[in-house]
Amino acid sequence: MVNVLITGAAGMVGGKLADRLIQDGAVSDKPIEALTLADIVAPPARQAAGIDISTHAADLADPGVADRLIAGRPQVIFHVAAVTSGEAEADFDKGYRVNLDGMRMLFEAIRRVGHPYCPRLVWTSSIAVFGAPFPEAIPDDFFETPLTSYGTQKAIGELLLADYTRRGVFDGIGIRLPTIVVRPGEPNRAASGFFSGIIREPLVGKEAILPVPDSIRHWHATPRSAVNFLVHAAGLDGATVGARRNITMPGVSVTVAEQIAALRKVAGDRVAERIVRKPDQTIMRIVEGWPRNFAPERAISLGFRAESDFEEIIRIHIEDELGGTWVK
C-alpha cells in the first residue's frame, strides 16, 4: 500500500495524473491507500473506493505548507506544480518563488523528516532548459543554456533534484516534457498555445490562428503520454537510472505543415481549412529559440514511450477529449 502526493493537481497534467492513479488504483503495482492532491487553488474533489483522497489549497513556498503536505509520509511524490513559461517570463518574482523556492521548500521538508524516509520524487522539467543554437537533434548530453526565466528555473530544479538524490534525501527522477498537445480547454496566452490551438479549435468548428510559418518544427507529446511518463518514472529503478536523474522524454518532431497535413488526413479538408494564417513577429521570435527535435536515447532505453506520429496525437485528442467525434 502506498501513499501518494501530487502537487499541481489543479493543473491539466496534474489533474489527469490524479484521474489516472484513481482509475488504476495503484502505482508501480502497489495499491494506493491515500492520495493527497495539492495546488495553489483547490483541486476538484474526487471520490474513489478504497482510497483516502484529500485536497489542499496552499502555496508550497509558504513556510510549513510542504511539511503539512508530506505529513502522511507519501512514498511517491509527483511534483508537477509550476508557473508556466509565459507567466514566469512576465512575472520574475512569481516564477522564482513558485518554480524555485516552492521546490526547495518541498525538498527541504523531505530532508527535515530524514532517514529512513526517502520517497520516490517524480518532477516535471521541460525542454525549455535548452537554448538555441541547437544541433539537428538534441542529444541526451546537450548542455543547458536556457533563454527564459522558466527554463532557468527548470534547469536549477534539475541540479537540485540530482544533488538531493545523491545525498539520499529522496530518490528523484526529473522528466523533461515535450510541448504537450493537444491541450484541452480554452486558448491561453502561452506562446506555444497555437500548437494546440490549430488542432483543438478546428475540431470543434472554430477558427484558429497560426502565428508562425508552416516550416516551424517542434517537439510534441499528448497529455496522455505526459501522464504515462510520470507513472512510468514512479516505477523506475534508481540504480538503473544512475547519477544523471533528469531525462529528456520521447516525443514527435513535426513541422507545422506536417501538423496540418495530419489534421487534414484524420479529420478532413474542411477542418484543416479553419486554420487562419496571421503572422505574429513576437511569437515567431520566441518560437525560433525553441528546440525542434531530440534524440532521447536514455528515455527510450528506460522504457518511456510517446506517440509515433502526429496523426496518433490527433486521434488521442479526439478519443480522450471529444468522445470520438468532431465537427466536420
Q: Does 318 bind a copy of itself (CB under 8 A)?
A: no
Q: Does 152 bind a copy of itself (CB under 8 A)?
A: yes
Q: How far apart are the first and last CA of the chain?
A: 47
The amino acid that residue 117 corresponds to is Y
Nearer to a copy of itself, 109 or 227 (CB): 109
Nearer to a copy of itself, 34 or 147 (CB): 147
Nearer to a copy of itself, 51 or 162 (CB): 162
Q: Does 162 bind a copy of itself (CB under 8 A)?
A: yes
Contact (CB, 8 A) for 307 and 236: no
Q: Does 145 bind a copy of itself (CB under 8 A)?
A: yes
Applying CB under 8 A, among 62, 92, 285, 308 the residue interacting with a copy of itself is: 92
Nearer to a copy of itself, 68 or 167 (CB): 167
Residues 6+ away with beta carbon under 8 Å from 11: 39, 80, 81
Total of chain residues touching a copy of itself, rule CB under 8 A: 21
Q: Give the bridge partners for 115, in sequence order.
A: none
Applying CB under 8 A, among 206, 244, 277, 278 the residue interacting with a copy of itself is: 244
Q: Give the C-alpha separation, 193 to 216, whole Å.
A: 14
CA proximity to 313, closest of 271, 272, 253: 253
Q: How far is the CB of 245 from a copy of itself (least distance, A)?
A: 9
Q: Does 189 bind a copy of itself (CB under 8 A)?
A: no
Q: What is the DSSP letter of 134?
A: -
Rule CB under 8 A: which of 194-213 touch a copy of itself?
none
Rule CB under 8 A: which of 250-309 touch a copy of itself?
none
Residue 164 bears catalytic tag:
no
Applying CB under 8 A, among 128, 156, 181, 208 the residue interacting with a copy of itself is: 156
Q: Does 166 bind a copy of itself (CB under 8 A)?
A: yes
Applying CB under 8 A, among 73, 112, 167, 328 the residue interacting with a copy of itself is: 167
Contact (CB, 8 A) for 32 and 72: no
Contact (CB, 8 A) for 185 and 223: no
CA proximity to 46, closest of 89, 13, 16, 69: 16
CA proximity to 220, closest of 292, 283, 129: 292
Q: Cβ–Cβ contacts within 10 Å for residue 63, how many?
A: 8
Q: Give the C-alpha separation, 94 to 83, whole Å.
A: 8
Nearer to a copy of itself, 166 or 285 (CB): 166
Q: Does 117 bind a copy of itself (CB under 8 A)?
A: no
What residue ranges bind a copy of itself (CB under 8 A)? 92, 131, 141-147, 149, 152, 155-156, 159-160, 162-163, 166-167, 243-244
Point out the residues that are catalytic. 150
